[in-house]
Amino acid sequence: MSQFAPWESLEEQGQRSSENGSSHRIELIGSQLRATADLKVPATQRVSDYFGLLQGFCRVSDLVLLTPLGKLSRIRLREARIRLDDIAVVGESRQCSCSDARPAETLRALFVPKRPHRLVVMTPDLLIYGDTHLTQNGSVTAFIDAEHPRFVPMTNVRVRWLADRRLASRYNFALLQRSHIIGFELQADGGAAVESFHIPGADFGADQSWS
């Protein structure tokens, strides 16, 4: 649950958190929504921790609706409350100029060695390719099957629409809501070729690179 009272405006939240908090430009992808917005996160939390604590809705500002291929639309909302259940992916926008202000000593104290595992994940609307990071003896299957955290952190992420395989976006960092996952495959060689993830009745062509 967010530490902010539900009746507070984003301006009031900003007065309480701007001094030590951080602002992030994020993108939201759901079955019926594609948008970019500003998110304020308290200084004591990372973005992944913040989303793990939220219940019900996420409060954002300067929300702009995007086309399915990520183009800016003319529809803009100064403030919005987004229903989390409808969001499959929360990605760090390439327009985000945020940086982690934690001291180097704090980062070293929090660091836990982990190994990357390349996954292809299917949701009802998306194919998501990305690296999830687990401890040395961690099980990918057990991690995906777990109920917590609600959002799975991933790096080096590529998102495609399942219906036509068009590229939706690429993110250096993203959160995947695990309740949307209906299937996944571990890429043993670290690659993420579309052809290796077989869906009966679907015909995916060669994958396209992005730079």
User: If you write DSSP's letter for every residue of 125-171 in order, what string do you get?
Assistant: SEEEEEEEEE-TT--HHHHHHS--SSEEEEEEEEEEETTT--EEEEE
Residue pair 2/54 in contact by the 8 Å Cβ criterion = yes
User: Whole-structure pTM over 0.95, yes or no?
Assistant: no
Residue pair 158/130 in contact by the 8 Å Cβ criterion = yes
pLDDT value of position 210: 26
Task: Using the Cα atoms of residue 83, residue 87, residue 89 and residue 93 in order, give the sign of their dihedral.
Answer: negative
Rounded-to-integer distance, Cα 187 and Cα 9, Å: 44
Question: Tens digit of pLDDT for each residue in 57-86?
Answer: 999 999 999 998 889 999 999 999 999 999
Give the residue ranges of the chain where pLDDT is below 50: 1-10, 13-14, 16-18, 99-109, 190-211
Task: Using the Cα atoms of residue 71, residue 75, residue 80 and residue 83 in order, give the sign of their dihedral.
Answer: negative
pLDDT value of position 6: 43
